[in-house]
Amino acid sequence: MENGDIPENANEHCPGPQSESAGKSDSCAGCPNQEACATAPKGPDPDLVAIAERMSTVKHKILVLSGKGGVGKSTFSAQLSFALAGMDHQVGLMDIDICGPSMPKMLGLEGHEIHQSNLGWSPVYVEENLGVMSIGFMLPNSDEAVVWRGPRKNALIKQFLKDVYWRDIDYLVVDAPPGTSDEHISIVQYLQATGIDGAIIVTTPQEVSLIDVRKEVSFCKKVGVPVLGLVENMSGLSQPLADVKFMEIGSSIDVTQDVISCLREIAPELLNVLACSEVFDSSGGGAERMCREMGVPFLGKVPLDPQLCKAAEQGKSCFEGNNKCSVSAPALKSIIQKVLASMTE
């Protein structure tokens, strides 16, 4: 148990060998390290000093969280990073979703590997000013399952923080897994002394997601992480009418060409309007109402945009080039500007 690391064979919810309750708490019962932890000298974790030194070159740290999985948190993290890099900031993106790393795919970096130098681990770079670190770069193949308990996950997060050489960067975006478990506790604990600017929490409009997002807001308040705001993602399906596929009701017959031809002939101006549909039930008021009730900022809504989904699949930015998303990109830009403004107040 060097440097206060949690042993790999420790029980789940291990308090850590440096904790005052090490070897004494209920979660220590039956652990093979219980006696050693109970009698070991306690003191500050020296790795926290190494982390503080690494983070001294990082100006701002933003956590991207979600209480519920599948709400588009990783897509938001990726596009936030693309946007910041597009503003000529130096950006790092750390993927701490150990069991479900998405960043290699969403930034077009599949097949890349981490390299080491005398300065530490080098991030994989999308562009000169956008580096990424993920366990996805360390797996023999993308289908390999990561079957780890909490202590091993925590140890890797600590290693990402103390061993990765980010250089001087303006923003470190941390993409976390859903929930409020080991990874979240660890990243907050390890970064607390270095200063966390805050967390952006992503949700979808329906109550089944908001139930868990309330827990995420509560978690941030308990551990002292400012909530920069909530993003309501997938807030209605929006796409140009010309891109909509039309089917006969009660059959699988595609009548798209007939409908488009009819519109061109009778009302061509309608081909330039957006078709919008509420996918998730937001009759409860959605994220905006929840923010009012919990006293946290509401950053805005991002529609469910097929073009954004395509950009994420291709590992591209939605803000420029052939992948520019006319529907979702303006909404994302507005949200990001609000976040940056709140961090400079």
> Which segments are annotated as binding site?
14, 28, 31, 37, 67-74
Output the CA angle 128-134-136, nearest 5 degrees.
Answer: 115
DSSP for residue 267: -
**Measuring CA to CA, how many Å separate 141 from each of 110, 132, 136, 145, 146?**
10, 18, 8, 9, 11
Output the CA angle 300-304-307, nearest 5 degrees.
Answer: 115
Output the CA angle 91-341-133, nearest 5 degrees.
Answer: 20
Cite the annotated binding site for ATP by residue number. 67-74
Helices 328-343 and 73-86 sit at what angle, rounded to 10 degrees?
Answer: 70
With H, G, I as helix, E, B as strand and everything else as coil, classify residue 118: coil
Query: Using CA atoms, how far apart are residues 127 and 125, in angstroms rounded to an integer?
Result: 5
Please give the distance of CA 310 from its chain centroid, rounded to a whole number.
18
- Give me the DSSP letters along 162-204: HHB---SEEEEEEEPPSSSSHHHHHHHHHHGGG---EEEEEE-
| CB distance 97 to 74 below 8 Å | yes
Instruction: Fill in the amino acid letter for 183.
Output: E
Query: Using CA atoms, how far apart are residues 212 and 42, in angstroms rounded to an integer?
Result: 36
What values do phi and psi take at 262, rounded to 5? -65, -45
Cite the annotated binding site for [4Fe-4S] cluster by residue number. 14, 28, 31, 37
